[in-house]
Amino acid sequence: EAGVAQSPRYKIIEKRQSVAFWCNPISGHATLYWYQQILGQGPKLLIQFQNNGVVDDSQLPKDRFSAERLKGVDSTLKIQPAKLEDSAVYLCASSSPGAFREQFFGPGTRLTVL
């Protein structure tokens, strides 16, 4: 079974530029999560999708961050415009169906904003 795929693995941009990250979850996983992990900290949930609907985006900075999952499969997270404090690893995860819904994580995208 293929794992959660993310691209790119690394991205370096200048502040005020735009950037987009892509995630393809494990086949059959209806729930998809985007997390932000700043160096030295634990990940923080940005947004959770159930199929193509948003379940929780309470911690997503909506003035600059947006995410979509139009067909309920892969997802894109965008930052526009980027700030220095957005430098982090962006992790995508998907969870299996069932009561406990264990989460499986992708390798992450490391973003550096200069």
Partner 1 sequence: KNEVEQSPQNLTAQEGEFITINCSYSVGISALHWLQQHPGGGIVSLFMLSSGKKKHGRLIATINIQEKHSSLHITASHPRDSAVYICAVKAGGGADGLTFGKGTHLIIQP
Q: Which residues bind partner 1 (CB under 8 A)?
A: 31, 33, 35, 40-45, 48, 50, 55-56, 91, 93, 95, 100-108
Residue 83 beta carbon to partner 1: minimum distance, rounded to whole angstroms: 22
Q: How far apart are the first and last CA of the chain?
A: 37
The answer for 100, left when phi > 0, alpha when psi is -120 to 50, beta otherwise, is alpha
Residue 81 beta carbon to partner 1: minimum distance, rounded to whole angstroms: 25
| Residue with Cβ nearer partner 1 (17 or 45) | 45
| Residue with Cβ nearer partner 1 (8 or 18) | 8
| Residue with Cβ nearer partner 1 (9 or 16) | 9
The span from the CA of 36 to the CA of 30, in Å, is: 20
Q: Cβ(75)–Cβ(8) under 8 Å?
A: no
Residue 5 beta carbon to partner 1: minimum distance, rounded to whole angstroms: 11
| Residue with Cβ nearer partner 1 (59 or 80) | 59
User: 37: helix, coil or strand?
Assistant: strand
Residue 93 beta carbon to partner 1: minimum distance, rounded to whole angstroms: 8
